[in-house]
Structure 1
Amino acid sequence: MEKIIINLHSILYSDCKYQILRDIASSFDWEIIEKEDITDCDLVWHDCTISPDRLNSLKLYQKINHFPGMSGIFRKNSMANNLNRFRKLFPNDYNFYPKTWVLPGDLASFKNTVKQRKKIYIMKPEASSQGQGIYLVRGLSDIKETSHHIAQEYLINPLLIDGLKFDLRIYVLITGCDPLRIFIHEEGLARFATEEYSPPNKQNFNDVFVHLTNYSINKNNPHFVQAAAGKKSHKRSLSSVLIQLSEIGFDVEGIWDQICDIIVKTVITIQPSLASNYRTCQPYDYTNGMCFEILGFDIILDNNLKPWLLEVNHAPSFSTDSSLDAEIKTAVISEALILVDINDKKKKEFKTETKKMQRHRSLSAKSLKPTKEESITRKIEEMKKRDTYEDSHCVGYIKLFPGCNDIYYDQFLKAASNSYYKLSTPKRSNVSFIGKGQDYEEDGRKNDQMNNISACLAKRRIAWS
């Protein structure tokens, strides 16, 4: 079905299955176009990943809700490979995820570990979602499948609330990759298992309602309680859980700081590949703003209050099975769309510039391609404009990067660049390379380890800070 564009902004509603996007578009008075022609739409929205060709086909004023190359952290095997590589380089900084083996490549090492160390391990298909295909292992005989799987040490000492295991769905917004721009939403979800937790034993070893926190699994338990006011439900708001932990006397700000640090360090591992894809597809975009992506980081706390990264979701569910879902996810999406700044001025400027170039080509063979110096100047100007706009339109989002600890994170950016260069350069090359970090102004920020990011944040949810 096709619709005529009647408003300033329009969305290509290509393969999105969620009604919430329609509702948000309607609240913004945006028109939804359901067709493959993206000629004049402002925003292209896909549930699935996009190819570089898709980004390459966009005009400079258009935006799309994914980055080509984000699979480096949302596919379980790719994220494990990236984080394992960084753990070898920075063992004390990248110790925030369980020890992981990528199978079948690490099968011999994994089997040897299982023989020597009597621990519990969890097996996950590398490309699965919603808890599908996950099971526990305590011996070699328990291993069912080794192709396209990862194996992890199972966290047997999770922090419990009401006797239940839970994890946190943290919503993260990436608004630029060259340089990197990362935001965290102040609200999120806590998903609970539906049966009381005890460490794996003969009785509960295969009970997914004890060991897994995925909503898609636990909603099928007859004991599941949907989110509702005044009830101890199995899905709650992030803020309500943080309030409860704070009332117990736990250091909630310390937990939050560690989660923020995990997010930045994880995204940094793929920054060079994101930037390379982006520059190849859109070399003349000085705004660094044609792509954005809402990610779902799944974090679990152990009983020492240490956050552990479980996985990253590039297409977090935006289904709204409860009023709590609708409230939080509407804020996450709508405030992201505000922050990425979709406006009619950019479209008009693009069309004016296009006409100017067409007239020039008809009168002269000389190219209007900007010089390197002009490109750098234009990029700096656009970054300043973005900073000003974002500072006044964050709403529920908090900027994590760039921020007050850029010099600390620069060592990881340099390592990421170095690693990407080595992996993408033919082995026959003898050229040496020293990785380059992001460009930012020296403004007195200290080269300290990440230890108090909350002190640098401009806003914090008052209810739990």
Structure 2
Amino acid sequence: MAVVWDMSQWTQAWRIDSLQPTVRSSGTRTTTSGTIMYGRTAGGANQSVTNGNSNSGANSGGGASGGAQGHDKLKIGFCTDLDKSVLVNNFEKRGWHQVNGDDDWHFYWAGVQTCRNIFSVDSGYRMHDNQMINHFPNHYELSRKDLLVKNIKRYRKDLERDGNPLAEKTESNNSSGTRYLYLDFVPTTFVLPADYNMFVEEYRKFPLSTWIMKPCGKSQGAGIFLINKLSKLKKWSREAKGPFHPQIAKESYVISRYIDNPLLIGGKKFDLRLYVLVASFRPLKAYLFKQGFCRFCTVKYDTSVTELDNMYVHLTNVSVQKHGGEYNTLHGGKWSVQNLALYLEGTRGKEVTDRLFGAISWLIVHSLRAVAPVMASDRHCFECYGYDIIIDNALKPWLVEVNASPSLTSTTVNDRILKYKLIDNILSVVLPPDGVPDVRWNKVPSADALGNFELLIDEELAAQDEQHQNSSSNTHSKTSKMGSRWK
């Protein structure tokens, strides 16, 4: 289905002024879309490069076009563990040359294990100011399923302890007790075997519920299965302790309440894969790639017990679906997010659609805020995360998981174009305007350098805005305490 989409409309769908919710404070209802941390065109006075080696005339745009005018003697060497043309072609387009990891490199697109080795205390490796790498040292705080849940739970508890209105609770419809009114974006989840007794207690309150089991350290649908009876979990536990599965016994699993009322299109379940670029965790600087996509199951959704083990019904991972008999190699079972927005506007209305995408942005920002305090925010690092999100039939988004190494394999022509553009735009955002890696740069890309990325949050710019607002007027000091919704 070929659809022409007006990207200006798409941008508006993701702006902060369309987001929910409003936060209640002191008995009044106050909208909190005040500061411009989302959808802001970065640049202006903060746009100049702080690179001590660069010429003042070298600030001509994003990383792709700036070249190395301010570093005439610096020939940029790149290194990568992945033999992917979308990477190498983008690097070579910039005039970079490939080197080995043992050589003097400036830009390393590494696998997670290589990154851990580089940052290991035992390695003794120290990066210089003109080196960048594509992972944060402890990215697993966000990408491991058990740690993500732990960090989000801690984040909510900290806000609750501080009396922050974001931690307000309300009565829950489908689980015991209460739920968070504004931060309820992950399904009820327990870590096994540690939380087994708590899980059993929750399960017995809702014995007809379905749960999904996932190994904490795996991806691409490996090791996932659904259960709707406690006996099935006990059977799995017994088998896991047997001599044929010694590796399973050592693994931690998360077990989450299954979203059994997903939004269906054409009768099929789908999820969203969105790309989120983090340039810094402290201060938090994050960007959303507007060209995400939906991944569809190849078999129509069916909640019957007979289909509980049919992963072609329940798992949207391309690595799973491509082995199904109904898999379409032409479109790869994918649909652009722009097409999804257009479909929802036509079937549910624009206001509801805008609110959904606003809630997705809200979800992403607060998941990043949850891990920011424990993340090692090294200035040499940036990271592109693959966010997997399920939308239920009430148009509520749920965070399923976050991938630190989203696949760069292309399954279709459109997929290849998208991922080539993704890498190109990442480089333009994280590199200074002259295109030379430099950790002394203030990491504020120009509007042109953003490409298809849009600013989700920049705490540094927001703090400057707030400081400016406070200095320009003291008469509104009481009403401005709520500040931005992202706080």
TM-score above 0.5, yes or no: yes
- What residue in structure 2 maps to residue 126 of structure 1? 216
Q: Does 1:245 align with 2:344?
A: yes
Cα distance, 1:139–1:447 mapped onto 2, change above 3 Å:
farther
Aligned counterparts of 1:152 and 1:449: Cα–Cα separation in 2: 34
- Correspondence list, 1:228-307, <5 A: 228=331, 234-250=333-349, 251-275=352-376, 278=378, 288=379, 290-307=380-397
- Correspondence list, 1:370-449, <5 A: 382-383=441-442, 386-387=443-444, 389-402=445-458, 441-444=466-469
Q: Displacement, 1:448? A: 5.1
**SS of the residue 1:270 aligns to:** helix
Contact 2:387 2:399 in 1 (8 A): yes
Q: Displacement, 1:235? A: 1.3
Aligned counterparts of 1:117 and 1:104: Cα–Cα separation in 2: 20
**SS of the residue 2:201 aligns to:** helix
Aligned counterparts of 1:394 and 1:43: Cα–Cα separation in 2: 19
2:301 to 185, 197, 212: 197
Cα distance, 1:38–1:67 mapped onto 2, change above 3 Å:
farther
Cα distance, 1:197–1:391 mapped onto 2, change above 3 Å:
same
1:37 to 93, 102, 113: 102
Aligned counterparts of 1:218 and 1:344: Cα–Cα separation in 2: 42
Q: Displacement, 1:115? A: 2.5
Aligned counterparts of 1:345 and 1:22: Cα–Cα separation in 2: 16
Aligned counterparts of 1:443 and 1:127: Cα–Cα separation in 2: 44
Contact 1:67 1:293 in 2 (8 A): yes
The 4+ residue runs of structure 1 with deviation greater than 6 A are: none
- Correspondence list, 1:279-358, <5 A: 288=379, 290-341=380-431
Q: How many residues align?
A: 364
Q: Does 1:86 align with 2:176?
A: no
Cα distance, 1:249–1:447 mapped onto 2, change above 3 Å:
farther
- What residue in structure 2 maps to residue 107 of structure 1? 196
Q: Displacement, 1:254? A: 1.4
Contact 2:135 2:383 in 1 (8 A): yes
Aligned counterparts of 2:330 and 2:189: Cα–Cα separation in 1: 33
Gaps of 5+ in 1: 1-5, 279-287, 351-378, 407-437, 454-465
Cα RMSD of the aligned pairs, angstroms, is 2.8
Q: Displacement, 1:172? A: 0.3
Letter in 2 for 1:390: S
How many percent of aligned residue pairs carry the same amino acid? 28
Contact 1:65 1:294 in 2 (8 A): yes
Aligned counterparts of 1:450 and 1:344: Cα–Cα separation in 2: 33
Q: Structure 1, residues 118-170: CA drift from partner, whole Å, max 9, x if none?
A: 21111100111001111111111111148510000001100011110000000
Contact 1:227 1:324 in 2 (8 A): no
- What residue in structure 1 maps to residue 171 of structure 2? none
1:222 to 318, 325, 328: 325
- With normalisation by structure 1, the TM-score equals 0.72
Cα distance, 1:55–1:204 mapped onto 2, change above 3 Å:
farther
Per chain length, whose mean CA-contact separation is higher, i.e. which structure has more relative contact order (CA < 8 Å, sep 6+)? 2
- Correspondence list, 1:158-173, <5 A: 158-173=262-277
Q: Displacement, 1:8? A: 3.5
- What residue in structure 1 maps to residue 86 of structure 2? 20
Gaps of 5+ in 2: 1-72, 161-166, 168-179, 238-248, 471-479
